Amino acid sequence: METEKAPSIRSKVEHEVDYQEDARSESSINEFGRGNGSFLTAYFNVTCVVAGTGTLGLPHAFAQGGWLGILILMLSYGMAVYSGIVLIRCLYHKPGHRIHDYKGMGTAAFGVTGYIIATALHWLNLFGCPALYIVLAAGNFRTLLKGTSGELTQTTWTCIIGCILLIPSLLLKTLREVTIISSVGAVCTMIAVFIVLIESPIYHNSHPDVVRDGVIWEGFPSALATIAFSYGGNNTYPHVEHALKKPHHWAYALIAGLSTCTGLYFLTSIPAYYSFGRGAQSPIYNSLPAGAGQTIAIIVMTIHVILAIPIYTTSFSLEFEKWTRADEDRLGKFGAWVARAVIRTATMAILVILAIFIPFFDDFMGLIGALANCGLVFLLPILCYLKLTGVRNKPWYELAFCALTLLLGIVGVVFGSKEAIENLRDDFNRSK
């Protein structure tokens, strides 16, 4: 069996390498086929991609790890910036050439193994996040319409949302409006952050006796996984950087974008944890007192996830269509449309089934953050950077920072995944 599978895997890698070479030859004009984006374009892309529902889980991460969450958040911020910078350096490690994407970087660094790991992490992120968002959206609709004629079960809302979102998934061949859709989502996130920032102190004034912890070491892996989820965006960085007219603007745009996101994270996590303490829930608006503020926060975040889901599903489908070569050159125009419809319908069906059977937002987010985002942010870019550019030419303090980043990544992947799986098991036991 192993001998039969090996040629197939190698052929996929060879196809990927051929694709990289074709991209390189085509990009010899205009410096690797670079776009005309400005610093602001890259800044808004980074901010829109990174700032999202992870914001709402950070107060609960603090509840799991205590005030130690501040240190974890600052370390994660620095490591996410460094990871985003060295990721782009890896793309240009060979003079006169540019690697096209995340999977190409893994292939260049570690061959077949790197290709498989990078593809698995990349697809897990593209597949896991929309399933998580469907869980959140279904729960929000159920909460908003509770006690009305529109009150339905979580499962029913999950199926309805899946059917509705299948329409844009079938209509959108590519993602030309990603920036506009993401911008609306980022604005929704900022509105939710503002509501939490206002409502949390009001709640604290009437409920001053809350329990807060300085350090909860046993909750460290879960807190790290949630925070890693909040910095997920590395798999989009090669495309954002490639759209820049001036490549040296990338580092500045990345730092500015992640700094903005981190500012939003602090505005949410510190006041909310101070006000709710160990009772901080995920998403945090579930901890807010019932009223207009909570309702508005639920509505804007529902809008955000509804707009974000087609981005992920279409991205996943495009990746799968490319991998299976379901294109017009091979199947013809009608055949390609049928193949695309089958793939995207099956993708949405699997997402709906996954969301039905794992309807636990906070622990589901912890699992995705631990498995996918810790690997995409803290592990793979650093390992590829050291492999492609060498170790001996780095100063000791950079190597020490790389080692610390890899250590946190391993802790997040291993122990964060273990704890998330155990928490999900407990969720299922309680739901029976």
Residue 27 scores a pLDDT above 60: no
In the structure, what pLDDT confidence band is assigned to residue 70 with cuts at 50, 70 and 90?
A: very high
As beta bridge partners, residue 37 has 244
Q: How confident is the model at residue 284 (pLDDT cuts 50, 70, 90)?
A: confident
* pLDDT at position 178: 53
The predicted pLDDT at position 80 comes to 93
* 2 found inside a domain: no
CA-to-CA distance for 221 and 130, rounded, in angstroms? Answer: 23
Maximum average pLDDT range among 26-40, 109-123, 220-234? 109-123
Three-state helix/strand/coil letters over 61-112 = HHHHHCCHHHHHHHHHHHHHHHHHHHHHHHHCCCCCCCCCCHHHHHHHHHHH
What tens digit of pLDDT does each residue of 193-216 get? 899 999 888 888 888 888 888 888
Q: pLDDT digit string (tens) for 402-412?
A: 999 999 889 88
Q: What is the pTM of this model?
A: 0.79
Residue 77 pLDDT > 50: yes
- What residues contact residue 158 under an 8 Å CB cut-off, 6+ apart? 134, 135, 138, 352, 355, 356, 359
> Is 27 exposed, middle or buried (CB count within 10 Å of its CB: 0-12, 13-18, 19+)?
middle
Torsion of CA 191, 196, 197, 200, to 10 degrees: 160
| pLDDT tens digits, one per residue of 132-181 | 888 888 989 988 888 887 788 888 999 999 998 888 777 766 545 455 66
213 dihedral zone (left: phi>0; alpha: psi -120 to 50; beta) = beta
Contact in structure between 88 and 101 (CB atoms under 8 Å): no
The answer to the question of residue 9 being in a domain is no
Q: Say which range, 115-119, 189-193, 256-260, 305-309, has the weakest mean pLDDT.
A: 305-309
Q: Is residue 222 one of the residues assigned to a domain?
A: yes
**Within-domain flag for 5:** no
SS3 353: helix
Distance CA 383, CA 8 (A): 26
* Cα 361 to Cα 341: distance, rounded to the nearest angstrom: 29
Instruction: Count the domains in the chain.
Output: 1
Q: Give the percent of the chain with pLDDT over 90.
A: 19
Residue with the bigger pLDDT between 319 and 111: it is: 111
Q: Who has greater pLDDT, 83 or 23?
A: 83
Domain annotation covers residue 11: no
Q: Report whether 188 contacts 303 (CB < 8 A).
A: yes
Q: How far apart are CA 52 and CA 49, in angstroms?
A: 7
In this prediction, residue 181 carries a pLDDT of: 66
CATH at 337: 1.20.1740.10
Structure-model confidence comparison of residues 306 and 67, the more confident one: 67
Looking at this protein, which amino acid is placed at residue 64? Q
Judge contact between 370 and 351, C-beta under 8 A: no
Tell me which DSSP letter residue 377 carries.
I
Mention every residue, 6+ apart, whose C-beta is less than 8 A from residue 412.
Answer: 221, 224, 225, 228, 369, 370, 374, 378
Question: Is position 10 within any domain?
Answer: no
Domain encompassing residue 336: 16-24+31-431
